[in-house]
Amino acid sequence: MMDYGVFKQVISERIKDFLPPVFHTYEVNITIVRKINQKKEALLLMPPKDERITAMPNIYLDEMYEAFQSKQDIEEVLRLIAAMIIHYTGSFDAQQVNLDFKSKKDSIVMNLINRELNQELLQTVPHKDVMDLSIIYRIIMEQDDSGLATILVDNHILEELEISEKELEELAHANTGRLFPIEIFKLSDLLYVMTNELKVHGATAMMYSQAIDVLAEKIGGSFFVIPSSIHEIMAVPEWQIDAETLACMLEDGNRLCCLEEEVLSSAIYHYDKDTKTFTMAASYEELAAS
């Protein structure tokens, strides 16, 4: 069986043999792509510099190696990679692309991610820490029925925006609430879900005090928050169940039901209706260590 290191070398050396001539002048790179909760190696073909911008797909090599382990046919995997490159490559004139980020300030939004799982990413982007989470920022470049196209605001883009981190936070807070209206609905008699209309990165709803007050009124008092994924949170009355039991349930959900890149936290939060504050009530790591 070819090991992963040899697999990467073979793919990078032979991929052009399976691509049309237009790709033969492209440079083959293996790069590290930082994704939410993940760091992955990707094959990336870089085109020669000219007047056109070419959008090239990242081909994640761990996924391709899994395909190779299943098929045991390196040429079949090379054909698969070539087909993906051909299908997802896009080309357009530079003048048609609006990369003036300052004109996109009304499209800056925020996402919540796990701080511990994204330490390397957070070194490169402006962010705000909240309990065991961090708020990061994205610019929506395009939105249609197929979804959102966004760019992560890193430290270089923040410089181009010519605003402070505080201004970035305020813009993102206002825009996210406007562009992604919050939804609260009852899943069962004592279980509520908070997200947004698109059900995408809806966990940011917990950053809106008025929405949290509405949730507290619906529940009838203080409550525990279950950060079930980056896309939503769940809430139960504090008297219904203890935080430690919820932490164990959350760990099972993270491990069995949630995609790795969508895990938000292993901690349970408590919201005090009187003081209007969040605290960390329990975490699976602390329980496992005790």
Tokens of 77: 């995997």
What is the chain's Cα-based Rg? 22
* pLDDT for res 51: 46
* pLDDT for res 91: 59
* pLDDT for res 145: 66
Q: What is the mean pLDDT of the chain?
A: 89
Which positions of the chain have pLDDT values less than 70? Answer: 50-54, 91-99, 143-147, 288-290
* pLDDT for res 204: 96
Tokens of 145: 């029925």
pLDDT digits (tens, 9 = 90+) for 213-268: 999 999 999 999 999 999 999 999 999 999 999 999 999 999 998 999 999 999 99
Q: Which neighbouring-strand residues pair with 229?
A: 232
d(CA 94, CA 118): 32
**Collapsed DSSP state (helix, strand, coil) of residue 16:** helix
* pLDDT for res 54: 59
* pLDDT for res 129: 97
What is the helix (H) or strand (E) element at residue 245, kind and residue range?
helix 243-256
* pLDDT for res 33: 87
In contact, 192 and 186? CB cutoff 8 Å: yes
d(CA 210, CA 60): 41
**Contacting residues for 273 by C-beta, under 8 A, at least 6 apart:** 216, 221, 222, 223
